[in-house]
Amino acid sequence: MYVLSAIVIMAALGLVLGLSLGIAAKYLKVESDPLVERVEELMPGSQCGQCGFPGCRPAAEALVSGAAPVTLCPPGGTALVEQLAKLLGIDVDLSDAQDQDPMVARVSEETCTGCTRCFKVCPTDAIVGAPKQIHAVVADACIGCKKCVEVCPTECLQMHPIEVTLRNWRWPKPLAA
């Protein structure tokens, strides 16, 4: 008798809970598409391609579908990883995360021929100049995508770390115990 009532109760319980889960899945369904948009908003948006995807939008789609890790974007750094992990509900161990120093392009004046190829590819118009004149990089607008370095015929464009001054000096992280 006891066995019977136990079986009946458990079966009923399973039925009710399963049913409610089913109903919840149907009526409380989360639309997943806006997520891609929100992820894309977080991304740097420079379409630099360093992640291996053709742009920030495809990268965001890959992130949402789970095909790419949240650590895919080097320019976004740890800050982006933290935000993405929070948005997508992923646990990431950031203890050993280390941001790479941001780099900016710089024109070496001796070898620049003024060919204009670099400022044609610059996604943020960070390179100024005119044909047959030496070009210059506006460091504040440069996002370090290296596209100009790739097209420069004389290798006069090089990536350099941003110069540390009193104004942008920050305390380094203490060595871990």
Partner 1 sequence: MNTKPISGPHIAAIRRVDQIMRQVILALVPATAFGVLLFGWPALYLLVVTVLSAMLFEAFCLKLKGVAATPSLRDGSAILTGLLVAMTLPPWAPWWIGVAGSAIAIVLGKQVYGGLGQNVFNPAMLARVALLISFPIEMTTWANVTPLFTGPGLIDSFALTFFGLDSTDAVTGATTLGLVKTGFSQNLTLPGILADYSSFLAMIGWERGSLGETSTLLVLGGGVWLLRKGVIQWHIPVSLLATVAVLSSLFHLWDGAHYLSPWVHLNSGALMLVAFFIATDYVTSPNTPLGQLIFGAGCGLLIFVIRSWGGYPEGTGFAVLLMNAVTPLIDHYIRPRIYGRYRNGKPLDISNP
Partner 2 sequence: MLAFLENPRLRGGIHAEEHKQETCGQTIASDFPLPKKLYIPVQQHVGKPAEPVVKVGDKVLKGQLLAYSQGTISAPVHAPTSGKIIDVQDFPAPHPSALPVRTVIIETDGLEQWAPGNLPDDPFAMAPDQICTRVGEAGVVGLGGAVFPSAVKLSLGRKNQIHTLLINAGECEPYLTCDDRLMRERAGEIVSGIRLMLRGMEAPKAMVGIEDNKPEAYQVMLAACREFDNISVEQVPTRYPMGWDRQMLRYLTGQEIPADGRATDIGVVVHNVATAHAVYKAICLGQPLISRVVTVSGGAVGKPRNVEVPIGTLMSEVLAFCDLDKSKLARLIMGGPMMGDALPFAEVPVVKACNGILALSRDEIEEPEVQACIRCSSCVTACPVGLLPLEMASRIKANQLDSAVDLGLKDCISCGTCSYVCPSNIPLVHYFKFASGELVKRQQAEHKAEQTKRLMNDRNERMERIRLEAEAEAQRAAEARAARMAAQAAAQQQKVEESA
Residues in touch with partner 2 (CB under 8 A): 44-47, 77-79, 82-83, 86, 93-95, 97, 102, 123-126, 140-141, 143, 164-166, 168-177
Is 96 an interacting residue with respect to partner 1 (CB under 8 A)?
no
Binding partner of residue 129 among partner 1, partner 2, none, CB cut-off 5 to 8 Å per kind: none
Whole-angstrom Cα distance, residue 170 to residue 61?
34
Residue 79: partners with Cβ closer than 8 Å, 6 or more residues away:
none
Which residue's CB is nearer to partner 2, number 132 or number 167?
167
CB of 139 to partner 1, least distance (A): 25
CB of 14 to partner 1, least distance (A): 30
Is 172 an interacting residue with respect to partner 1 (CB under 8 A)?
yes
Is 176 an interacting residue with respect to partner 1 (CB under 8 A)?
no
Is 174 an interacting residue with respect to partner 1 (CB under 8 A)?
yes
Q: What are 20's two structure tokens?
A: 């409610």
Query: Pick from 25, 51, 5: which is nearest to 145 by CA?
Result: 51
Which residue's CB is nearer to partner 2, number 108 or number 124?
124
Burial 109-148 (b: 16+ CB within 10 A, else e): eeebeebebbbeebeeebbebeeeeebebeeeebbbbebb
Note whether 133 and 114 are within 8 A (CB): yes
Residue 161: partners with Cβ closer than 8 Å, 6 or more residues away:
101, 102, 103, 104
Q: What is the number of alpha carbons within 13 Å of residue 70 lying toward its C-beta? A: 20
SS (H, E, C) 103-125: EEEEECCCCCCCCCHHHHHCCCC
Is 89 an interacting residue with respect to partner 1 (CB under 8 A)?
no
CB of 4 to partner 2, least distance (A): 52
Is 165 an interacting residue with respect to partner 1 (CB under 8 A)?
no
CB of 41 to partner 2, least distance (A): 9
Identify the residue among 34, 171, 173, 176 touching partner 1 (CB under 8 A): 171
| Contact footprint for partner 1 (CB under 8 A) | 171-172, 174
